[in-house]
Amino acid sequence: MRNFKVTIWYCGSAYHGWQIQNNSVTVQEIFQRCLSDLLEQPTVVIGCSRTDAGVHAREYVLNFCTESTITCRGIVFGMNSRLPDDIGVKSCQEAPPDFHARFDCKGKQYEYLIHNSEYKNPFYMNTAYRSWYPIDEKKLDRAAKDFIGKHDFRSMCSSECTKENTVRTIKSFDVRRQGDMVIFSVSGDGFLYNMVRIMVGTLLFINEGKLGEGDIPRIIQSKDRTKAGRTVPPQGLYLNKVFY
């Protein structure tokens, strides 16, 4: 039995996240269907993480096992000829038999994009969140540093989060501007349901004066979701890197 590690990227606008669901089309469903067709046998893939509906991935890692004699090149070209245009295979390599895309993952980096302009750009409709309110990226970069460290992030996750352990370690959080685009970049050992979107929403509350620049430690300590900011929409969120 051979174990393949595959890196893909996708635009998540048309999908209800990564993980297979009974009543919605997901990236995993489409990928497994195309892979099973390529290998001419039912094949299950293991993903590195869940992603929410409408969220994108620039780097998403999965693995699968097969007895097929197919080459890595055959997987890349065979899958890219079968997958829809909004999902692509970036690379493939044979991995050790015990490699597991989810359990071996050491951390992830997410980016959130905000098109900060008074004018609507239709090309960002499904790929960035638009906010006309002027964003002080330097102020938010300073405030974002208060997320760094090992904390209980219960106040920064959705009420629908089912995780008993809500302690996570944030390793870096930077906010920068490139023209009209403000980019929030955060890396950590793991993330809770809607965590990045709530952290960005909390920073936007600080930008708008609804929260103080030094309020993040107090909100984290409160473990109360109602103390944090809004949950920003999914279209601006990208799984940017996966670390092993």
Domains and CATH numbers, the chain: 2-95 (3.30.70.580), 107-243 (3.30.70.660)
- List residues with catalytic annotation: 52
In the three-class reduction of DSSP (H, G, I as helix; E, B as strand; rest coil), residue 115 is classed as strand
DSSP conformation letters of 23-40? SS--HHHHHHHHHHHHHT
pLDDT per residue over 67-96, tens digit each?
A: 999 999 999 999 999 999 999 999 999 999
pLDDT at residue 95, as a whole number: 97
Q: Is the pLDDT of residue 49 over 90?
A: yes
- Whole-number pLDDT of residue 158: 85
Q: Which residue type does 80 have?
A: N
Q: For residues 234 and 231, what is the distance between their CA atoms, to the nearest angstrom?
A: 9
* Continuous segment of H or E residues that includes residue 175: strand 167-178
Q: Please give the Cα distance from 145 to 138 (Å, whole number).
A: 11
